Amino acid sequence: MTIAFIDLAAQQRRIKPEIDAAIARVLAHGAYVMGPEVRAFEEQLAAFAGSKHALGCANGTEALVLPLMAWEVGPGDAVFCPSFTFAATGEVIPWLGASPVFVDILEDTYNLDPAKLEAAIQATKAQGALTPRAIIAVDLFGQPADYPAISAIAKKHGLKLIADSAQGFGCTLGGQHPGAWADVVTTSFFPAKPLGCYGDGGAVLTDDDWLAERMDSLRVHGKATASDIQGRTFDHDPKYLNMRVGLNSRLDTIQAAILIEKLKIFADEIEKRGVVAERYAAGLAGSGAKTPAVIQGGVSVWAQYTIEHPDRDGLAAHLKTQGVPSAAYYPMPMHTQACYSIYPQPGGLPVSEAKADLVLALPMHAYLDEETQDRIIAAVRSFNG
């Protein structure tokens, strides 16, 4: 039997009638762009995450650039982010002419190291070529970054804080979502994400009224907002009064309709993922593979279940012979790739470079049955004798 790395079909079987009905409703009313389901989903998403505002957008990458554009980050500015992450985190910064400053990660959680972040900010200030403006912390593999520590650093230096929760939406720390600390939370609804749609999609969440209004304008070609129009006479549709240079980054109505149904079962799926993670930890104890650690007080949504092994590539090859899929995230951290190597990396990133050769993700989803999981665990253990 073929083992799925992420079993989207199992989830679809659970809610197929609801998904089919949701899509049919959109086809019936025909408002395919910014239709009523988009606003309904935004309200439900904000309520789930405890945020005042949620705005859908085209994908998780543009979710990251929207707040940077709103804050007018640009040439001469520094944005601090990890290198051990997907390219989207760092690539949006040069879009605006700003510079990513790559920061190393913690040994155990793979998330941004607060001490290294503080050192990188101090080094950047001392060097003087760039002006520190913002921090992007990533909820890698599904668990929250150390937001209390990172937020304290951001406030100390007067920097904005973005929680890149593309992999971690739904994670909590001390019972609170990342928005309790970050100025804005961004997420992706790419199909493989814990809360994924059936195409591309993303969202930004914030408690900041001004930021929400500005990002709403930017996602629709810089359209005029209520604040922009106040005191002006403009008799036409405000979308034709363009107050700033924006982009086209709207969440499709069909995707919002699908996400409404998925959000209804999301809390249950997070619990199920946690059970799968616990079984992995117990089953792999003493196997020679290092199982993941979660920050104290944190709840991961387990976007991936990532182990470490000194012979990562050998283990991956062995698992393949056993019919077990795996994935190596991220074999080349961003700062080691030619197009990003030109950007600052004060103090180096030895942990990121070391982990790139060690980590391997095993199949993980809410519908991984015990028999299949036992087969995966047995395959890992058999590699070690």
Alpha-carbon distance of 351 to 359, in angstroms, equals 12
Least Cα distance to 302 among 106, 112, 171, 204 occurs for 171
pLDDT digits (tens, 9 = 90+) for 182-231: 999 999 999 999 999 999 999 999 999 999 999 999 999 999 998 988 88
Alpha-carbon distance of 374 to 378, in angstroms, equals 6
Model pTM score: 0.97
Alpha-carbon distance of 90 to 99, in angstroms, equals 9
Amino acid at 364: M
What is the token pair recorded at 179? 């928005």
CA 334 and chain centroid, separation: 16
> Exposure of 162 by Cβ count < 10 A (0-12 exposed, 13-18 middle, 19+ buried)?
buried
Half-sphere exposure of 147 (CA within 13 A, CB side): 28
Q: What percent of the chain has pLDDT over 90?
A: 95
Structure confidence at residue 235 (pLDDT): 76
Q: What is the set of domains in the chain, with CATH numbers?
A: 8-262 (3.40.640.10), 267-383 (3.90.1150.10)
Alpha-carbon distance of 93 to 158, in angstroms, equals 18
**3-state SS assignment for residue 348:** coil
CA angle 212, 213, 215 (to 5 degrees): 65
pLDDT band with cut points at 50, 70 and 90 for residue 236? confident
pLDDT digits (tens, 9 = 90+) for 249-259: 999 999 999 99
pLDDT band with cut points at 50, 70 and 90 for residue 163? very high
The set of catalytic residues is 193
What's the mean per-residue pLDDT of the chain?
Answer: 97
pLDDT digits (tens, 9 = 90+) for 103-119: 999 999 999 999 999 99
pLDDT digits (tens, 9 = 90+) for 37-61: 999 999 999 999 999 999 999 999 9
Amino acid at 207: D
Structure confidence at residue 5 (pLDDT): 97
pLDDT band with cut points at 50, 70 and 90 for residue 241? confident
Structure confidence at residue 12 (pLDDT): 96
Structure confidence at residue 26 (pLDDT): 98
**3-state SS assignment for residue 224:** coil
What is the token pair recorded at 213? 């209004």
Structure confidence at residue 229 (pLDDT): 86
| Residue-by-residue DSSP string for 102-160 | EE-B-TTT-SB-HHHHHHHHHHHHHH-SSEEEEEEEE-GGG----HHHHHHHHHHHT-E
CA angle 369, 375, 381 (to 5 degrees): 135
